[in-house]
Amino acid sequence: MSPAAAPEPTSLLEQVDQAFEKAAALTSYPRGLLGQIRRCNGVYRITFPFKRDDGSIEIVQAWRAEHSHHKLPTKGGIRYAEIVDEDEISALAALMTYKCAIVDVPFGGAKGGVRIPVQSYSAAELERITRRYAYELYKKNFIGPGIGVPAPDYGTGEREMAWIVDTYQSITADKLSSLACVTGKPVPLGGIRGRREATGLGVMFGLREACSVAEDMKAIGLSAGLEGKRVVVQGLGNVGSHAARFVRDAGAILVGLAEREGAIHAEGGLDLDRVLAHRSETGSILGVPGATDLPRTDLALELDCDILVPAALENQITVENAAKIRARIVAEAANGPTTAAAHEILLGRNVLVLPDVYLGAGGVTVSYFEWVKNLSHVRFGRLEKRYEQQSHQRLLHGIGAFLGRDFTPGEVEAMARGPDEEDIVRSGLEETMIRAYSELRTLGLRAGLGLDLRKASMLSAIHKIARCYEDLGIFP
């Protein structure tokens, strides 16, 4: 079989490793250092029994992978799904390592997974599974504010993080910093405002920044700016629904949406709120008045649009459909939605791919803010809000005196309001995504990579992690 006819790898771990090796080939680092950066440091496989509500006993398989200890703690979400396996968890842990490095978040990468069909279990059963999983992580020193800090992922959320922190607090001796053992918690339990929508908001910030570069947009046949761009979003989970909302609010037009039951299309634009309300009432996005139904989710990928946002699962864009993609920008909101071979096809067709390893960094960025908040025991905005508000009021009075008019109390209130926690979180996330995109684009131009931001992203991660090891004197 010729190399051209060889089947492309379908394992997410193989895809991640391929992307790493392509970037590593552009460096002069020793092979031993590159191997240390690439390989997963450790995987803990767990098997434990739990009692179901009917009294029967079931065996659960779970994993926790720590990909890199070049910085501590390690960071990565916990997913609950039937398809979870060791390869997937290891791949996602690697992506988290690279993601943190790219946006300068001081964590090593990790990931956790429990192989269960979430919909088949009651809340009480899920609580027992979650608490046992947390206990197993504690026993093996895989969780703690300075060791490993999990977060929500597919199939988990604030509820599961609350169970984990409660379990951890009941057995740890370090009560003072115990809230920092996980992120993505409910706000009253030490969570941070803005964490739930952080990944979707980061997608919008990254997209907006890419679209603001007139030179790059001209190169792919688009005008500068996100406003007016036709967008298709595949996947309306936490990330996809928030990404859709934020790009809409930024002036883009949602012309297609897809979920597991199918997809819908409207050239004039879809009302996102109406679609979500319809799905809540009927259990499906199909049948929304004014929209055309498509029977399969994957058909949405081939719709005519300017920006395609795959926000579902991995391996959605492959060699089978890459040539049919009509979008000029593919914004990867999911982990690994584009295979390595498909990525090369898109590049050859002059499509700008914003890679998952950059675009999906909003969640871990805001998780870092939450971790810092838990360790400092001070809510963001608490110290500076009133001071800034008073400073703004004095400035407005000065402007009013210069203009010869007084601002109304309502105008003063609107313009002088000091930042609260969510304002600070969003501002920090925006700055992080803007700065990282600028770094990646500059690195890509210097390396002669053109529009290949995936290779530039991996190259950036390799450089930053390598410097950590060199500073430690491990690899001179």
Confidence band for 416, pLDDT divided at 50, 70 and 90: low
Q: Which residue has the higher pLDDT, 404 or 115?
A: 115
The pLDDT score that the predictor gives to residue 371 is 93
86: pLDDT strictly greater than 90 = yes
Confidence band for 5, pLDDT divided at 50, 70 and 90: very low
CATH fold, domain 196-384+419-476, is: Rossmann fold (3.40.50)
Q: Which residue has the higher pLDDT, 473 or 373?
A: 373
The per-residue pLDDT of the chain, averaged, comes to 89
Q: Do 181 and 145 contact (CB within 8 A), yes or no?
A: yes
The pLDDT score that the predictor gives to residue 471 is 76
Average pLDDT over residues 298-307: 93
- What's the pLDDT tens digit per position in 213-240? 999 999 999 999 999 999 999 999 889 9
- What's the pLDDT tens digit per position in 15-39? 899 999 999 999 999 999 999 999 9
Q: Is the pTM of this model over 0.85?
A: yes
User: For the structural domain made of 42-189, what CATH number should be given?
Assistant: 3.40.50.10860
The pLDDT score that the predictor gives to residue 4 is 46
> Residue by residue, what is the 3-state secondary structure of the chain?
CCHHHCCCCCCHHHHHHHHHHHHHCCCCCCHHHHHHHHCCCEEEEEEEEEECCCCCEEEEEEEEEECCCCCCCEEEEEEECCCCCHHHHHHHHHHHHHHHHHCCCCCEEEEEEECCCHHHCCHHHHHHHHHHHHHHHHHCCCCECCCEEEEECCCCCHHHHHHHHHHHHHHCCCCCCHHHHCCCCCHHHCCCCCCCCHHHHHHHHHHHHHHCCHHHHHHCCCCCCCCCCEEEEECCCHHHHHHHHHHHHCCCEEEEEEECCEEEECCCCCCHHHHHHHHHHHCCCCCCCCCEEECCHHHHHHCCCCEEEECCCCCCECCCCHHHCCCCEEECCCCCCECHHHHHHHHHCCCEEECHHHHCCHHHHHHHHHHHHHHHCCCCCCCCHHHHHHHHHHHHHHHHHHHCCCCCHHHHHHHHCCCCHHHHHHHHHHHHHHHHHHHHHHHHHHCCCCCCHHHHHHHHHHHHHHHHHHHCCCCC
Q: Do 149 and 78 contact (CB within 8 A), yes or no?
A: no
CB neighbour list of residue 74: distance below 8 Å, 6 or more residues apart: 66, 67, 68, 93, 107, 108, 109, 110, 147, 148, 149
The pLDDT score that the predictor gives to residue 11 is 86
Average pLDDT over residues 138-166: 95
Give the closest residue to 356 by CA, choosing from 323, 376, 331.
331
The pLDDT score that the predictor gives to residue 68 is 94
423: pLDDT strictly greater than 60 = yes
Using a pLDDT cut of 70, give the percent of the chain over it: 89
Confidence band for 396, pLDDT divided at 50, 70 and 90: low
The pLDDT score that the predictor gives to residue 381 is 57
Beta bridge partners of 148: 74, 144
Interior CA angle at 332 toward 326 and 334, to 5°? Answer: 125
The pLDDT score that the predictor gives to residue 8 is 63
266: pLDDT strictly greater than 50 = yes
The pLDDT score that the predictor gives to residue 174 is 87
171: pLDDT strictly greater than 90 = yes
Average pLDDT over residues 154-175: 94
Q: Out of 126-130, 134-138, 167-171, 293-297, which region has the weakest mean confidence (pLDDT)? A: 293-297
Residues annotated as catalytic (active site), given as ranges: 111
Average pLDDT over residues 316-342: 93
What are the sequence ranges of the domains in the chain? 42-189, 196-384+419-476
Q: Out of 82-96, 396-410, 423-437, which region has the weakest mean confidence (pLDDT)? A: 396-410
Q: Which residue has the higher pLDDT, 394 or 14?
A: 14
413: pLDDT strictly greater than 70 = no
How far apart are the C-alpha atoms of 23 and 29, rounded to whole Å? 11
